[in-house]
Structure 1
Amino acid sequence: MVTERRIALANEMDTARIATALAGHLRAGDVILLDGALAAGKTFFTRALVRALGSEEAVTSPTYTIANIYETPHGPVLHVDAYRLKGAQEFYHLGLEDYFDSGISVIEWGERIGDFFDAPLAIHIGFGDTENARLLTFTSDSPRWTPVLEALSC
């Protein structure tokens, strides 16, 4: 059964609040697949999430490096940009699988490689009615995420 939750956000502060709330539920092995248009806020969301997990590192888009790793008190956060990847096979050849069990993975443009993971949480970031407003749509078919999505609120 697919679980879906939509949350309308008025501004970047609301986006950071939701990322922070989500961070409190994350554990090693979790995978977050982010998608949305260019400049929708995928890296902003990741930055807020990594900060909420206790890292002061500068979170930047991994567009050219493909992957960044941030150390947090909750374990490493693997931040991948899958935009230039052709699919799950190419992603597999990056050799990052050690991080999947020991850390939290956040994959921008995750729909490109979503089939690689068993129980990810997909988050689509869409634009709202104003410049900084966003609509987040959380989707998963894993029971792991049902209580997490029920707990999220703005």
Structure 2
Amino acid sequence: MVRKVTLIAKDEAATARVAAALAPLLHPSDVILLDGSLAAGKTFFTRALVRALGSDEAVTSPTYTIANIYETPKGTVLHVDAYRLKNAQEFYHLGLEDYFDTGIAVIEWGERIAESYDTALSIRLGFGEDDTARVLSISASAPRWDTVLDALETLA
């Protein structure tokens, strides 16, 4: 059964607070699939998440590099952009599997490879009432995410 939490972030600071609330709940081998249209805030969310995990590294979109790696006190964060990938098989050919076992993976355009990650946390970012507000639809079906969704639900 898929469980879903919907949050409204009225500005970038509120979006960053959602990322900050999620950060301490993450563990190595967690996978987060981010989706949303262009400029919905996927990279911004990742930047706020990496910062909340304790890194001051400059988080940039991995659109052209496909993957960026950030070291945090909580472990490695693998930031992948799947936009240019055709399917999950192409994703596997990148050779990033080791990072999935030992780090936290954040995958933009995650719906392109979602069939391979049925235990992932999915976050869809959409536009709210204006260009600064975001609607975050957070969902998961794996029991691992129940306490995470409970905690995020308190932000509503």
Deviation string 1:72-115 (CA, Å, 9 cap, x unpaired) is 01110000000000000000000000000100000000000111
Q: TM-score, normalised by structure 1?
A: 0.98
Q: Give matches, 1:11-50, under 5 Å.
A: 11-50=11-50
CA RMSD across the alignment: 0.8
Q: How far apart are the structure 1 equivalents of 2:11 and 2:55?
A: 23
Could you tell me which residue of structure 2 aligns to residue 57 of structure 1? 57
Q: TM-score, normalised by structure 2?
A: 0.97
Could you tell me which residue of structure 2 aligns to residue 146 of structure 1? 146
Q: Give matches, 1:1-154, under 5 Å.
A: 1-152=1-152, 153=155
Displacement of 1:150: 1.1
| Count of residue correspondences | 154
**Deviating runs (4+, > 4 A) in structure 1?**
none
Instruction: Provide the secondary structure at the position in 1 that maps to 2:80.
Output: strand
Q: How far apart are the structure 2 equivalents of 1:17 and 1:115?
A: 29
Percent same amino acid among aligned pairs?
Answer: 68
Q: How far apart are the structure 1 equivalents of 2:93 and 2:120?
A: 20
Mapped contact 2:26–2:104 kept (Cα < 8 A): yes
Q: How far apart are the structure 2 equivalents of 1:146 and 1:137?
A: 15
Mapped contact 2:118–2:141 kept (Cα < 8 A): no
Q: How far apart are the structure 1 equivalents of 2:19 and 2:61?
A: 16
The gaps in structure 1 that reach 5 residues or longer are none
